[in-house]
A and B are shown apart, each in its own frame.
Chain A
Amino acid sequence: MTPGRALGLALAALLAAGPFLPLGGMKEYGLHVMVQIFIWSFIGGAWSLMGRFRLVSLGHGAFLGLGAYATTLLWNSWGLTPWLGGVLAVLLTAVVAVIVAYPCSRFQVVGHYFALVTLAVGEVVRLLIIAERNWTGGSLGVSLRPAGRDSLVAMQFADKRVFYYAAFVLWLLGLWVWARVDRSMARSAMEAIGEDETAAASVGIHITRFKIGITVLSASLTAVGGVAYAQYISYVNPDTLAGIGVSLRIVFAVVLGGMYSLLGATVGTALTIALGEYLRIVFGLRFIGMAETIYGLLLIVFIIFLPSGIYGSLRDLVQRLRSAPARAEA
């Protein structure tokens, strides 16, 4: 067993035992932060499935919001279990993803233009939620109708540990999908498309199919993340689940951690959430906006000096250190 794999297993074991560690009064809070990290890492990983191939989406909030709102509203209005509602929400999101991806791919909307299109999509979904306030609750958001007791059907539990494990499994699932894509032929095809579409077409790659495929996969997983988040927080709000704010938050976390590596999204998300929480506690109500300022400055510094992200750069460094002695022997 390689040291890396052993470390990974040890970490996974620690995470699995998390809820049973004696953490005293901080336990509930710690669990809450961990659930957030799992869910947002999963969403970040979904985003990076596209981002790493230069399909930079600034509108993943749209997919997140569709997932979260569709399940919540189906449950509130018709009592449809989120298990089924979630499936419908993901299907709806997949359809929207095709509607966005097909014309973009067909008319070669790439790079900055693609980012702008997705940005608009995110805002459209947010504004639609606000405008349709009769059944979406508008900008005030909507609370999940309580089931009254712990219920698997309603996906509602009083104990945070249930959500902890659910989110943990979801996160692992996200890593598995990411690794599958990373090892597939689709990855080479998508990399080729990202570098040069004409060249990719000239070696026989079906560009439209791959672009739509990866967009649908990324959007659907993001919608799953939205469902999970809505069930956990049991409240949905257009500003936290759709539109530019949350879309950029996903992007920043992944860019910070590194979008080309398996754990990049997780490292980035964990750091941004931890940093956000820390700054919130340190500054509290003094210097309103200071936390956001520091957060923003750190992001700029990282993006300029560590373009492959914190995790990506660390991994590169380790690889270089490891190969250096090997070269010296040769």
Chain B
Amino acid sequence: MSLLELRGVTAGYGQFTALWDVSLSVAAGEAVAVVGPNGAGKTTLLRVISGLIAPRAGGLAFDGAALGGKPAYEIVAHGVAHVPEGRRIFPVLTVSDNLKMGAYLPAARRRFAESLERVYALFPVLAERRAQRAGSLSGGEQQMLAIGRALMSRPKLILLDEPSMGLAPVMVLRVFDLIRRIREEGYTILVVEQNVRQVLKLVDRAYLLEVGRIKMEGRAAELGEQDFVRKAYVGL
């Protein structure tokens, strides 16, 4: 029984179609990656799942509920947390206020103190900087804050959009390390990445998305071994 199930999802912006007939599933406890080049539709895929854009066709089921076309605030309430591309923290708010906003919905607000403790334990640097403006954090710290904010909503599924984007190489490794730790805590993760080599080490399964269509699917280890993928994306 999969936690997230997409069936034949087609979506786009205005006249432009970014996703064609995409089907994908994520089981509870699994970590899944969607990889592919720039403009493949990876971000659009996550935006559809989290309700930021409505699919034109196809079905979206999460935890037994049909959520296709539902608005974002409803989907978040069902337990999907989206860490958007480019981090998208609230720069003027302090670190702790950013985390507070993550627990915005009533169900999450009730368990605020407990969630906050867990996030600070995962990311001690956020605890150190809790009173700072989020905009003054480094890129890597902002990414941690964005992930921490997502965890505050007590999600069943975390959507990560290009967590390594725009980070220094050292920071990239640290962020992937942190995602691995979140994984070990039992969270279900769907991650979209261009850094194929790193992300394949992290996940169980992966999908290859190209110009809006799923081109390949498989166990992460097997996919990494395919000549075509290695040449095109892993750079080996």
9-residue interface stretch from A166-174, A186-194, A235-243, A262-270: A186-194
Interface of A is mostly: helix
**Shortest distance in angstroms between B123's beta carbon and chain A's nearest beta carbon?**
17
- Using A202-B50, A202-B82, A204-B76 as known contacts, say yes or no to A195 and B100 having CB atoms under 8 A apart: no
Q: Quick check: B101 and A192 within 8 Å, CB to CB? A: yes
- Using A189-B104, A204-B77, A204-B104 as known contacts, say yes or no to A198 and B84 having CB atoms under 8 A apart: yes
Is A326 positioned at the interface, with any CB of B under 8 Å from its CB? Answer: no
Q: Which of B77, B83, B90, B153 has the most CB of A within 10 A?
A: B90
Is B21 positioned at the interface, with any CB of A under 8 Å from its CB? Answer: no
Q: Quick check: B88 and A204 within 8 Å, CB to CB? A: no
Q: Quick check: A199 and B84 within 8 Å, CB to CB? A: yes
9-residue interface stretch from B30-38, B91-99, B192-200, B228-236: B91-99
Q: State A188–B50 Cα separation when bound (angstroms).
A: 21
**Shortest distance in angstroms between B42's beta carbon and chain A's nearest beta carbon?**
16
Q: State A224–B76 Cα separation when bound (angstroms).
A: 38
Q: Quick check: A203 and B93 within 8 Å, CB to CB? A: no
Across the interface, name the chain A residue whose C-beta is closest to B102.
A203
How many A residues touch B, CB cutoff 8 Å? Answer: 16
- Using A201-B52, A203-B102, A205-B73 as known contacts, say yes or no to A191 and B90 having CB atoms under 8 A apart: yes
Chain A residue contacts of B149, Cβ below 8 A: 203
Chain A residue contacts of B52, Cβ below 8 A: 198, 201-202
User: Mind listing 27 A-B residue pairs with CB under 8 Å?
Assistant: A188-B97, A188-B100, A188-B104, A191-B90, A191-B92, A191-B93, A192-B90, A192-B93, A195-B93, A196-B91, A199-B88, A199-B89, A201-B51, A201-B72, A202-B72, A202-B76, A202-B81, A202-B84, A202-B88, A203-B76, A203-B105, A203-B149, A204-B76, A204-B104, A204-B105, A205-B104, A207-B73
Additional A-B contact list (4), CB under 8 Å, known A196-B89, A196-B91, A199-B89: A192-B104, A195-B91, A195-B92, A206-B73
